[in-house]
Structure 1
Amino acid sequence: MNDPSIEQLLQQFGLSDKEIDTYLAILEQGEAKASVIADEADVSKRHVYSVAETLADRGFVEVNDHVVPTTIRAHPPESVVDTLADGLEKMEPALESRFSQAAPRSESFEVVKSRVTVLKRVAELLGRAEGEVMLAIPHRLLDDIATELRDAIERDVLVVLLVTGADPDDDLALDGLASVARVWGQPTPTILTVDRELGLVAPPEMLSRANNAAQAIVFAQEQLGPVIVGSFLGNYFPMATERYATEPEPLPTTYHDFRHAVLQAALHIRTGSAVHARVTGRPLHGEDGPAELDGVVVDVRQSLLEPTNSSFPVENTLIIETDHGTYNAGGQGAFVEDFEASTVELKLV
């Protein structure tokens, strides 16, 4: 490496041109009197003393003022580089914190390179949830977002939680953190979807090991959200062991998230209660079908609560017996059912 490149690099660490000339002169001498360094750097002897004190404070040199005449000795370059690297490492958390606050929110996709920022994004997205959350997260990080999960439950958000990297037999405190929670001992990607259109995906190693090159993706795409939900429910959630399910909610209640309505209907039916549903939406296979279903829920097909009985992982269906026949109702994006629901009112018969 030639001298101009060295000078440019040292400028990046805040050294002025005269400080760089003085430091390079000290390096070339190894150890020398101020007068010798002044001649080599073409600066005054007084300037050498002033610069040497600054360089000593930053770990570049040592001023030996206990001898006469005073000498200035360069620290080994390896030691200087280690000192600079240590300073940069200590600077990273503060830089990340400020960068997180200024990161763009309007983009459809954001690449995240820091574990700190991944956790911030998870917390932010959980705070925006209005209807439904699907989350797979390592057990050791659960406490970091526990407050946001509890707040989501308090807002009546459906929270489907998969805790990874933990023994299913461990005593985990999951009450109040989820509507349904399962535990799996294997590491998985960190996956989050919020209201089927916002979310995050991070590879396992990004949150388990420091200083790796893995990156996470934060997205705001309603076309992508259902795909990630399908992967979560189809590939990861079925492999885990159910550890927690919420108690049935008081009825009547109106649900705008269909999966939430299905879960609550299943919970009530399992207690022996008869559930009545009034479903608004649209027929899927003919314009002459009903615009509303009003009747008793005679069966539920679902994959959230054990034992599951869905024919495919994302199937969530209410089977409703009305005065005009029995219909299958699905949620947003339904395609195999008779009816696509927009709202569901459940009440006990």
Structure 2
Amino acid sequence: MDDRTLNDLLRRFGLSDKEIDTYLSLLAHGEAKASTVADAAGVSKRYVYSVSESLADRGFVGVNDHVVPTTIRANPPDEVINRLRSDVDAIRPGLEERFSRVERQAEQFEVIKSRVTVIKRIRSLLDDAESEMTLSITADHLPEISESLADAVDRGVLVLLVISDVEGASGDGRGVDTDLDGLGSVVRTWSEAMPTLLTVDSAAGVVAPPELLRRSDTDRQAIRFSQEQLAPVIVGSFLGNYWPAASEVATAPPASLPAEYANSRHAVLQATLRLRAGEPPHVTVGGRWTESDEPVELVGRVVKAKQGMVEPTNNEFPVQHSLVVETEEGTVTVGGKGAFVEDVEADLVRIEAGETTETADAD
């Protein structure tokens, strides 16, 4: 390796030109007095002492100040290289963490400019859904994602679906050419052309204006997001502003029991359907008391459900979906993640068949 290349490489490790000259002089001598190094490097003896301390801190040299006169020795190259490699390995986690933080931030939002990409992103998110999705899609574009919707329902995902821009939308689903059976847990239609709104597992989704799906010459853009703070806001808007305006046209039959749900809305829907069939279910709930945050597991019979997913709805605000459970210790209200008006915030609800009765209240 020629001197120029060696000097350039040493500069990458933060050595100045004078430090490089001093270090290379020491390599040539092995060990020498400060005055010898000063003469060889063309610097003052005082500067050699100063540079030697800096080089010693970084592992390039050793300073023998216990002898008179003080001598300076170059450390073996293998030792220097191992020290440099160790330093590089030490900073790797910090660099990677900061890089991934920026990378994650960049991945939280994607601007989408074409209808084809919007449909592709929606289909991909539907295929990855694990517990819940809320979706509004125009009737014209429903066939493009119907297979993904059906697969999600088959996987046990809660699918709340609004089909918008339906001509003459009514309670019988008239105006939708696609067979709606199996496409959603609850399906509604609306004659208005609402935005395409998708949330999946309260963590990711897509927001697209109606014009982007209707026209190819529009400059309107869609957003794909992956942010747990934003998704619940979109869900709240969907359930509070659009869902009530649409007409219910299809509801899937109750799921087979026993069944477990980490998603509280799905548990509430299934309990509601059982209550309305005169089959109030028994539940085992794992979670925490909302007042004390202490863990709790309770067992009881569902006597009432407050919800806004199927008609007639009876919740007091759009995102309220809760169960009233009769236990041996008394009646307890159960909500999902972020519950604050209920007694218990549930992490998991196991639903089992109960005794058939006509006394339970699902309204």
TM-score past 0.5 threshold:
yes
Find the aligned partners of 1:132 and 1:155 in 2 and give their Cα distance.
Answer: 11
Choose the corresponding residue for 2:264, options 258, 262, 282.
258
TM-superposed CA distance for 1:286, in Å, is 2.2
Cα distance change, pair 190–287 in 1 and its aligned pair in 2 (3 A): closer
Tell me if the contact between 1:180 and 1:246 (Cα under 8 Å) persists in the aligned partners.
yes
TM-superposed CA distance for 1:171, in Å, is 5.6
Find the aligned partners of 2:233 and 2:165 in 1 and give their Cα distance.
Answer: 24
Counterpart in the other structure of 1:188:
194
Find the aligned partners of 1:251 and 1:309 in 2 and give their Cα distance.
Answer: 25
Counterpart in the other structure of 1:333:
338
Tell me if the contact between 2:286 and 2:349 (Cα under 8 Å) persists in the aligned partners.
yes
Tell me if the contact between 2:271 and 2:280 (Cα under 8 Å) persists in the aligned partners.
no
Counterpart in the other structure of 2:146:
146
Tell me if the contact between 1:253 and 1:347 (Cα under 8 Å) persists in the aligned partners.
yes
Find the aligned partners of 1:168 and 1:345 in 2 and give their Cα distance.
Answer: 37
Choose the corresponding residue for 2:278, options 272, 275, 285.
272
DSSP 3-state at the match of 2:189: strand
Equivalent position amino acid for 1:168 in 2: A
Is 1:216 aligned to residue 222 of structure 2? yes
Tell me if the contact between 2:307 and 2:313 (Cα under 8 Å) persists in the aligned partners.
yes
TM-superposed CA distance for 1:168, in Å, is 2.2
Counterpart in the other structure of 1:348:
353
Q: Deviations over 1:139-158 (max 9, x none)?
A: 00000001100110111100
Residue identity over aligned pairs, in percent, reads 49
Cα distance change, pair 338–148 in 1 and its aligned pair in 2 (3 A): same
Is 1:226 aligned to residue 227 of structure 2? no
Equivalent position amino acid for 1:165 in 2: D
Choose the corresponding residue for 2:253, options 239, 247, 251.
247
Q: Deviations over 1:81-124 (max 9, x none)?
A: xxxxxxxxxxxxxxxxxxxxxxx997010000011100000000
Tell me if the contact between 2:209 and 2:221 (Cα under 8 Å) persists in the aligned partners.
yes
Is 1:284 aligned to residue 290 of structure 2? yes
TM-superposed CA distance for 1:287, in Å, is 4.9
Choose the corresponding residue for 1:315, options 312, 316, 320.
320
Equivalent position amino acid for 1:302 in 2: Q
DSSP 3-state at the match of 2:107: coil
Find the aligned partners of 2:237 and 2:343 in 1 and give their Cα distance.
Answer: 24
Superposition pairs of residues 11-26 of structure 1, within 5 angstroms: none
Counterpart in the other structure of 1:162:
162
Find the aligned partners of 1:171 and 1:226 in 2 and give their Cα distance.
Answer: 31
Structure 1 residues not aligned, in runs of 5+: 1-103
Tell me if the contact between 2:150 and 2:183 (Cα under 8 Å) persists in the aligned partners.
yes
Find the aligned partners of 1:330 and 1:274 in 2 and give their Cα distance.
Answer: 18
Q: Calculate the aligned-residue CA RMSD, in Å.
A: 1.5
Find the aligned partners of 1:218 and 1:296 in 2 and give their Cα distance.
Answer: 41
Counterpart in the other structure of 1:40:
none
Tell me if the contact between 2:259 and 2:350 (Cα under 8 Å) persists in the aligned partners.
yes
Is 1:204 aligned to residue 231 of structure 2? no
Find the aligned partners of 1:274 and 1:180 in 2 and give their Cα distance.
Answer: 20
DSSP 3-state at the match of 1:145: helix
Equivalent position amino acid for 2:346 in 1: A
Counterpart in the other structure of 1:296:
301
Q: Normalization by structure 2: what TM-score? A: 0.66
Counterpart in the other structure of 2:24:
none
Equivalent position amino acid for 1:273 in 2: E
DSSP 3-state at the match of 1:291: strand
Tell me if the contact between 1:298 and 1:320 (Cα under 8 Å) persists in the aligned partners.
yes
Q: Tell me the matched-pair count.
A: 245
Larger Rg: 2
Cα distance change, pair 164–319 in 1 and its aligned pair in 2 (3 A): same
Q: Deviations over 1:246-274 (max 9, x none)?
A: 11111111111111110000001101112
Tell me if the contact between 1:168 and 1:184 (Cα under 8 Å) persists in the aligned partners.
yes
Find the aligned partners of 1:228 and 1:130 in 2 and give their Cα distance.
Answer: 18
Counterpart in the other structure of 1:175:
181
Superposition pairs of residues 15-164 of structure 1, within 5 angstroms: 107-164=107-164
Equivalent position amino acid for 1:341 in 2: A
Structure 2 residues not aligned, in runs of 5+: 1-103, 355-363
Q: What stretches of structure 1 move > 4 A for 4+ residues in a row?
A: none
Tell me if the contact between 1:168 and 1:243 (Cα under 8 Å) persists in the aligned partners.
no
Equivalent position amino acid for 1:239 in 2: A
Q: Deviations over 1:46-102 (max 9, x none)?
A: xxxxxxxxxxxxxxxxxxxxxxxxxxxxxxxxxxxxxxxxxxxxxxxxxxxxxxxxx
Find the aligned partners of 1:286 and 1:321 in 2 and give their Cα distance.
Answer: 21
Counterpart in the other structure of 1:306:
311
